[in-house]
A and B are shown apart, each in its own frame.
Chain A
């Protein structure tokens, strides 16, 4: 048993690596067609993302990516398609950046950081309530509703930053800058904020809950077969609401780590668009929390280094979107090689149940 699961695991790792390598090659061919040198481009990514202290930036970036990734893991495990991560992220970030300067002024650093983290959790989680209620009560497809809520969140964040939270000291619309010495402390000797420990703790904690507790099992059962879960007497409605809230909460906490660890303020129209790329990574990790760690590490290097590489190659920064799209495509293709017919069909069934749960039973 243990041996076969190890074998399956190593097969999955091989397929993930193949998908990434093929995507890098195809991406390189596209760069070549655009008249850029792909080897120089990838070398630039490595140089800026890993060498010369770039690894510190990459690890810093990992903390937000990991927390958002956990948000997707908990949702997808339960068969919930929370695609609206960007809105949950930006709205949380805006409220944290708006409330931060005032909180730091009136209370000690530790308390302020905890309260701001909680703001992130509550805001991110609350932004999922409408889609999750509609899904749990009416079986309305949450893919669409969460995307709509995401757009609402993005614009609401902008309205807040250009309106009530706008700093009077700058001409560009942004929030007041929080005092840098009061932000999340750095790991001594590095520039990495301690947020990475919060993120790693979340990963380990979620992995434990998903694999060793009855809550995790209930969620997995619901994700695998919603109707079976209902017949087994699971409280499906409550499970959907809870998992959806947890998903938004992780994403909101990720926003807290990004604002409190890296920026200290938020500009209007800032949108790093982590949402859909993390969707891809979490799938590549087969919804396994621990497997998200190396993948976000790779993606962090790609985004940090890709920024410099794109600038050097005189290209817009969106090459990463293309690369992630390619990885996703080749990953589904590599799935095909391994999957038997029955399991392929089961995946389709899962989505159908996710789409119409609440109406059929």
Chain B
């Protein structure tokens, strides 16, 4: 295996893993607070579309990222109202959000751009002095756009918030024993609402990253199952942000390895390449079937004054 192979594998790992990282971090927060967010992929798509359009017209990728966050949060506010406030079925509402996201973005894209796919300029890369000169990991890891480092920082922030702050404690209590949290005088509904909105924001960044940084174009249905992989990652990470990071990059490798093998001159049919990450998820799930952990009150709507 050549240097070119490893460099392309590592940089591709980051490119494919970052959307998963943002999204699975978001899902971790929401799962910990007791809301299973099946509609993640719809939020990613809406974030991707809004981010793409904003970046296209403002010529600024950062405006795009912020638009992606906002759009993801708007979508997740549906979930907040329906599932947290009204206590409706999380799986049905999640699937509704997925369908809405898919239909809406495809429709808007078709109405706005027809069958043309305009391209964005890439984001500025930041080459860290000295470190970026190291072969293989220099050009792949240490010359990433700034948003890569934002992502890494968010992992640390989420880990810190969930483990060492009152907010994190509230969120985890809302997922394990909402009644106890309520008895302690904290508003469960607001805790969960905040967690769901944060999830939407994270999924929005994930989608915006895909459209703005990773590919530079928006294609309908471009997430193609990544939202579900992110759910698996956060289930296996069991609320630990660092494991979400590791998991995302491992799946990033699965998503990338086919392309890198083509760089190295080995040809594999594209369908096999697309299949690989899902195959790996299945194998991981079978091996660690007993280890996937879900909070006790996941999917249980909380209503004051009811037993449980």
Residue of A nearest to B305 (CB): A341
**Which residues of chain A from 324 to 351 have a CB within 8 Å of any chain B CB?**
324-326, 328-329, 331-333, 335-336, 341, 344-345, 347-349, 351
Number of interface residues of A (CB under 8 A): 59
Contacts of B98 in A (CB 8 A): 276, 325
User: Quick one: given A134-B286, A148-B278, A315-B111, are A329 and B106 in contact (CB under 8 Å)?
Assistant: no
Interface of B is mostly: helix
Structural contact, B306 and A341, CB atoms closer than 8 A: yes
Q: B92–A332 contact, CB under 8 A?
A: yes
| Contact indicator A328/B99 (Cβ below 8 Å) | yes
B177: interface (CB < 8 Å): no
Query: Residue on A with the closest CB to B300?
Result: A348
B77 CB to nearest chain A CB (Å): 13
Nearest B residue to A158 via CB reads: B271
For the complex, what is the distance from the CA of A198 to the CA of B285, rounded to whole Å?
A: 37
Which of the candidate stretches A199-207, A254-262, A277-285 sits at the interface with the other chain? A277-285
A159 to B109, CA, bound (A): 29
Contacts of B290 in A (CB 8 A): 138
Which residues, 126 to 148 on A, are CB-close (under 8 Å) to B? 130, 134, 138, 140-141, 143-145, 147-148
Cβ contact of A333, chosen from B42, B82, B220, B294, cutoff 8 A: B82
Interface residue ranges of B69-121 to A (CB < 8 Å): 78, 82, 86-93, 95-104, 106-111, 114
Judged by a CB distance under 8 angstroms, whether A267 is at the interface is no
B82, B92, B109, B232: the one within 8 Å of A144 (CB):
B232
Asked, given contacts A316-B107, A336-B86, whether A345 binds B285 with beta carbons under 8 Å apart, the answer is no
The interface size of chain B toward A, counting residues with CB under 8 Å, comes to: 56
Contact: A326 with B100, CB < 8 Å? yes
Contacts of B89 in A (CB 8 A): 332, 335, 347-348, 351
Interface residue? B279 (CB, 8 A): yes
From A130, A318, A331, contact of B107 by CB (8 A)? A318
Residue of A nearest to B225 (CB): A151
Supplied contacts A151-B225, A329-B97, 13 more A-B pairs, CB within 8 Å = A34-B108, A148-B282, A156-B271, A159-B269, A280-B99, A320-B103, A325-B97, A325-B99, A325-B103, A335-B89, A344-B301, A351-B89, A356-B294
Binding site for A on B (CB under 8 A): 38, 42, 78, 82, 86-93, 95-104, 106-111, 114, 220, 225, 228, 231-232, 235, 269, 271-272, 274-275, 278-279, 281-282, 285-286, 289-290, 292, 294, 298-301, 303, 306
